[in-house]
Structure 1
Amino acid sequence: MATKMVIQQPKPLVVAPGSDQWSTSICECDTVNDCCFALWCFPCFACITARDHGECLCLPLLDAFGLIPPITMSMRVSVRRTYGIEDSLCNDCVYACCCGPCSWCQIRRELKARHHPVTLFHNRAK
């Protein structure tokens, strides 16, 4: 009688967000650290978030030279297009002008949600 030996354990099921909506609202705060960092050192927070999205580290610093922050608006549009999020350019403009730090926090949360999938099943070794 032959016995079968299991060489490979089953892989965990991973579900990545694939929604066509933002994973969080504009004023939602998932970690106090990110919210405080955005509030107290907004330029650094925006630059790090831009870098994590693959853009130039210092790109958000150009927002200081315009009435409508073009970089904040562009980053929102870029994140929306990258992840297929349905929203309007008008909303992007309003959020960029009126809620800059909150907008960057939402972008940061979205990057985290889309790059760090949730593991639903974890097989513990016994």
Structure 2
Amino acid sequence: MYPDSKVEGTYIPQPQPTAGVPVYPPSLQASGFRVQSQPPPPAQWSTGLCDCFDDTGNCCITCFCPCITFGQIAEIIDKGSTSCGASGALYTLILCLTGCQCIYSCFYRSKMRAQYSLHESPCNDCLVHCCCEACALCQEYRELKRRGFDMNIGWHANMERQGTIIAPVTTPPMVEGGMTR
């Protein structure tokens, strides 16, 4: 279909158009060559952005004190590496100093979408957080809750409840008697 090219005496074959399922030569398949599959298409959020009133308790808390909801979300998304209190305090500090807490919280929405392969909807993450901060936090909270997390107990307690964390047993080293002469 495509003419082959010659560059300074070197033969360079042109790529042929392909269609259908790729077929790999048996020599590659036998050598353990692995073909990476395509990632699954993005999933839909379990609730809409404006379904805030499904959970009126969280809606009120988020409306009057969004740092609490943000802290709970951040602890779960960070898998316990940051605490609810530390994330909420940083959120509040950014809010008080700059008023740009929506930029900070949109990074967590993006991180959550990546972890759970969620579709970026209804629009860009930063735009959602800048225009509808409270609704975005409520939607993220509901999504984590519907995925089985008890948002009030934090990451570590959720993992213990699910039986996934096995605490390492550490024993102090054995000390042989004191110094002797």
Instruction: Determine if the TM-score, normalized by the shorter chain, exceeds 0.5.
Output: yes
TM-score normalized with structure 1 length? 0.65
What amino acid maps onto 1:72 in structure 2? Answer: S
Q: Is residue 98 from structure 1 mapped to residue 122 from structure 2 by the alignment? A: no
Q: Is residue 33 from structure 1 mapped to residue 33 from structure 2 by the alignment? A: no
Which residue is equivalent to 2:45? 22
Indicate if the aligned counterparts of 2:69 and 2:141 stay in contact, CA closer than 8 A.
Answer: no
Gaps of 5+ in 2: 1-41, 150-181
TM-score normalized with structure 2 length? 0.47
Counterpart-to-counterpart distance in 2, 1:98 and 1:108: 17
Which residue is equivalent to 1:85? 118
Indicate if the aligned counterparts of 2:109 and 2:140 stay in contact, CA closer than 8 A.
Answer: yes
Task: Detail structure 1 runs of 4+ shifted over 4 Å in the superposition.
Answer: none
SS at match of 1:69: helix
Q: How does 1:1-126 map onto structure 2 within 5 Å?
A: 20-29=43-52, 30-53=54-77, 54=79, 56=82, 57=84, 58-60=86-88, 61=91, 63-64=94-95, 65=98, 67=100, 69-87=102-120, 91-115=124-148
Deviation at 1:97, TM superposition (A): 0.6
- Mark the CA change 1:68 to 1:42 in structure 2 (over 3 Å): closer, same or farther: closer
SS at match of 2:124: helix
Instruction: Give the structure, 1 or 2, with the largest relative contact order (CA under 8 Å, sep 6 or more).
Output: 1
Deviation at 1:70, TM superposition (A): 2.6
Indicate if the aligned counterparts of 1:95 and 1:103 stay in contact, CA closer than 8 A.
Answer: yes
Which residue is equivalent to 1:16? none
Answer with 1 or 2: which has the greater Rg.
Answer: 2
Counterpart-to-counterpart distance in 2, 1:59 and 1:76: 14
Whose helix fraction is larger, Structure 1's or Structure 2's? Answer: 1
- Mark the CA change 1:97 to 1:63 in structure 2 (over 3 Å): closer, same or farther: farther
Gaps of 5+ in 1: 1-18, 117-126
